Amino acid sequence: MRHSRSVHVQRSRNETLPQAGGADLLPSLSSLLWLPQALLIAMAVGAMASGHFDALPYQAMGVLALGALRAWLDALGARLSFQAARAALTDLRAAALARLLASSPLDRDRQESGAAASIIAEQAEAVVPYLARFRPIRCKATILPLVIVAVVFPLSWAAALALLISLPVIPLFMALIGWRAEATSRAQMVELGQMNAFLLERLRGLATIRGLGATARTTAAIHTHAETLREKTMAVLRIAFMTSAVLELFSALGVAMVAVYVGFHLLGDLNFGAWGGQLSLTQGMFILLLAPHFFEPMRELSAVWHDRANGEAALAALQIQIAGAGTQLPSAPPAPASPTAPAVHLDQVSFRHSGADKPVLQALSLKIAAGEHVAIMAPSGGGKSTLLALIAGLVPPDQGAIYIAGQTPAQMRQHMAWIGQDPHIFAGTLAQNISLGRDLPPGAAAQAMADAQMQRVAALHGSGPIGEGGYGLSGGEVLRLSLARAMARPADHPAMLLLADEPTAHLDPTTAAEVTHSLLRAAKGKTLITATHDPVLAAKMDRIIQLDPIGMEDAA
Ligand SMILES: Nc1ncnc2c1ncn2[C@@H]1O[C@H](COP(=O)(O)OP(=O)(O)OP(=O)(O)O)[C@@H](O)[C@H]1O
């Protein structure tokens, strides 16, 4: 059996994003209603100028009714766009998290936790304004200017020309800035991720940093990161301000050109541009009212231009995360739960860690009987933990196959319990650290604590929290907690295969004997594979398997 060690999932941006739909069109529709509103206002002004006031109340009512309809359309469009954007972000986050969960915890190419958390939790939020604000406005900027030119052109080609002259300059300029803005935003986000990763790492290792007097160096490095982030943020802001300023300038010039033309034309000084005729006050007024709206979507677009740059940079970061680098674990539907201990069979298994030049295991074959208790022994670095990780399905073998009760490790992952060498303790109570959010029967956590002989620890900490990373617990207590986790199982998911990685390492003989006793009690009637250097623990097993670099031999 051969697994791909590096699976790159290529997805196009369109595949992961909702397509522009009705919600994106609603603001455009609302803006188009300004045309009849402007016409009614122009007609009212024209009528008032010639002394006719009869139609005025109806025109005013029409303007108000259209205004109310526009407000409703705007609100509906904003709500629908926002909902669609949040749903799209949830899907993207779920895909990125699924990829993270499917990656091997042993892979050194795995992204740093701080950077992954920064992208998925913080930077990903930039996708919402991009989808909810930028896209509807881009849609409006495509439709509204064309419609306005089409309406103005039959009245006055000169006014339409004045509008058209300034229009192409704007998208051209924005495209030029857009390339620069996206690169700058991407650099800012990368720096943010790096700073988060650095901070998280250093916070985790605070005790080591303090213990070895490396705080000054760490503070200087954090300062450098913060300074780089400040510079990159300022670059993004500079571009955002510059875009706004330039667009305001061009739209002001465009409106001014139309106003000057219409004004002088009505005064009789510029007698051209109206197809050989003369614009009436109503027509001139109508054109004047439309001119600012012609530029409005462009100005709105400039206001949300940095949303685009940030949103696309965040999308790119999420998509890299979703495509994922490094080893991906095979997924398989879980095998049905069984109350019988499984046999474990390794058939010609070879494995080399990514980036390592030599394999850790080479063509290793091994049979462990159902219910057997075995100790795997080897010198330090001999591959014991790697072997347990392969059986646990935490990493796929390069060659060969592993069967647990005839199934693959991926199918059996839910039916085994892993007692790791360096268990992670979360900030929370002992009971929360044992249940890990699993659906345990009532009292299961307390029973597991008793089975793992944690009465003294439980009495000391009660239902109070223990610190992240196990602060407040001794090394032996952390091991017992790890044992209790393995013992506490959902009622319908008994773990009939226990994998223990050096469960007595660094313990004094008395504590080691207590932990061994608890482990053996937990493993009664189950298959137990333990990696150990401890001869006392090994002697209590049914068999000792000695690993050597080229394979294995039974030593007893
Ligand atoms: N995630 C990893 N990426 C790359 N190399 C690794 C990784 N984990 C372990 N190794 C290397 O693989 C070899 C076997 O490591 P492993 O942890 O399996 O040995 P071990 O027998 O459990 O050692 P110890 O008794 O010291 O715990 C070592 O040379 C180690 O440096």
Burial class from Cβ neighbours inside 10 Å (0-12, 13-18, 19+) for residue 307 reads buried
Confidence of residue 461 (pLDDT cuts 50, 70, 90): confident
What is the pLDDT at residue 15? 47
Give domain status of residue 330, yes or no.
no
List ligand 1's pocket residues with C-beta within 6 A.
106, 108, 353, 356, 360, 378, 380-386, 531
Tell which atom from ligand 1 comes closest to the C-alpha of 421.
27
Single out the residue in 268, 288, 323 at which a domain terminates: 323
Residue in 360, 421, 537 to alter for ligand 1 test, most ligand atoms within 8 A of Cβ: 360
The answer to whether residue 5 is domain-embedded is no
Domain presence at residue 50: yes
- pLDDT at position 382 is 87
- At which of 259, 289, 323 does a domain end? 323
**Hey, whose CA ends up nearest to atom 5 of ligand 1?**
353
Q: Structurally, how many domains does the chain consist of?
A: 2
Summarize the confidence of residues 372-384 as an average pLDDT.
Answer: 92
220-229: average pLDDT: 87
Question: 442 is in which domain, residue-wise?
Answer: 344-554
- Domain of 420, CATH number, reads 3.40.50.300
**CA-CA distance, 167 to 257, in Å (whole number)?**
12
Band of residue 550 on the pLDDT scale cut at 50, 70, 90 = very low
Same domain, 410 and 277: no
* Cβ–Cβ under 8 Å, residues 55 and 174: no
Report the separation in Å between the CA atom of 550 and the middle of ligand 1, taken as the mean of its atom positions.
15
Mutation pick for ligand 1 pocket among 104, 357, 376, 384 (CB with most ligand atoms within 8 Å):
384
Residue 329 within any structural domain of the chain = no
- Whether residue 286 has pLDDT greater than 90: yes
Query: How many angstroms does the Cα of residue 159 sit away from the middle of ligand 1?
Result: 76
CA of 383 to the centre of ligand 1 (A): 6
Stretch 26-31: mean pLDDT: 90
3-state secondary structure 430-484: HHHHHHCCCCCCCCHHHHHHHHCCCHHHHHHHCCCCECHHHCCCCHHHHHHHHHH
Residue nearest to atom 23 of ligand 1 (CA): 381
Ligand 1 binding pocket mutation candidate from 380, 386, 534 (most atoms within 8 A of CB) = 386
Both 228 and 260 in one domain: the answer is: yes
Q: What is the mean pLDDT of residues 492-496?
A: 80
Q: What's the confidence (pLDDT) of residue 49?
A: 86
Residues 110-166 pLDDT 10s: 777 888 888 898 889 988 988 888 888 888 888 998 999 999 999 999 888 888 887
The whole-number pLDDT of residue 170 equals: 66
Q: What is the mean pLDDT of the chain?
A: 83
Decide if pLDDT at 179 tops 80: no
The answer to whether residues 35 and 149 belong to one domain is: yes
- Residues 310 and 356 both lie in one domain: no
Residue of 328 and 411 predicted with greater confidence: 411
Is 8 a member of any domain? no
State the pairing for strand pair 344-351/497-501.
Answer: unpaired
Q: Taking 70 as the threshold, does the pLDDT of residue 16 lie above it? A: no
- Closest CA to ligand 1's atom 27: 380
- The answer to whether the beta carbons of residues 317 and 191 sit under 8 Å apart is no
Distance 488 CA to ligand 1 centre (A): 28
Q: Is 328 within a domain?
A: no
Q: Is the pLDDT of residue 102 over 70?
A: yes
Rounded to the nearest angstrom, the distance between the alpha carbon of 387 and the centre of ligand 1 is 10
The whole-number pLDDT of residue 488 equals 85
Query: What is the band of 389 on the pLDDT scale with cuts at 50, 70, 90?
Result: very high
Residues 233 and 364 in one domain: no
Rounded to 5 degrees, φ, ψ at 490 are -60, 145
User: How far, CA to CA in Å, does 360 sit from each of 168, 185, 375, 383, 522?
Assistant: 63, 43, 18, 6, 30
Q: What pLDDT is attached to residue 247?
A: 75
SS3 state at 227: helix
Q: How confident is the model at residue 296 (pLDDT cuts 50, 70, 90)?
A: confident
Q: Which of 495, 551, 542 is nearest to 375 (CA)?
A: 542
Q: Which residue has the higher pLDDT, 480 or 170?
A: 480
Residue 512 lies in a domain: yes
Q: Which residue has the higher pLDDT, 491 or 31?
A: 31
Q: What's the pTM?
A: 0.68
Distance CA 178, CA 243 (A): 9
pLDDT at 58: 92
Q: Are residues 525 and 438 in the same domain?
A: yes
* Banded model confidence at residue 19, pLDDT cuts 50, 70, 90: low
**Mean pLDDT across 28-56:** 90
- Please state, for a pLDDT cut of 90, what percent of the chain lies above it: 27
Average pLDDT of 421-450?
84
Centroid of ligand 1 to alpha carbon of 548 (angstroms): 14
Atom of ligand 1 nearest to the CA of 502: 27
The CB density around residue 11, as the number of other CB atoms within 10 Å, is 12
CA of 384 to the centre of ligand 1 (A): 8
For position 135, which CATH number holds? 1.20.1560.10
For 456-483, what is the mean pLDDT?
77
- Give the model confidence (pLDDT) of 194-207 as tens digits: 888 888 878 877 77
Give 380 Cα–ligand 1 centroid separation in angstroms.
8
Is the model's pLDDT at 180 over the cut of 80? no
Q: Which residue has the tokens 């029409």?
A: 62
What confidence score (pLDDT) does residue 116 get? 85
* Residues 474-489: tens digit of each pLDDT: 878 888 888 888 888 8
From the CA of 114, how far away is ligand 1's center (Å)? 24
Structure tokens at 439: 């659906």
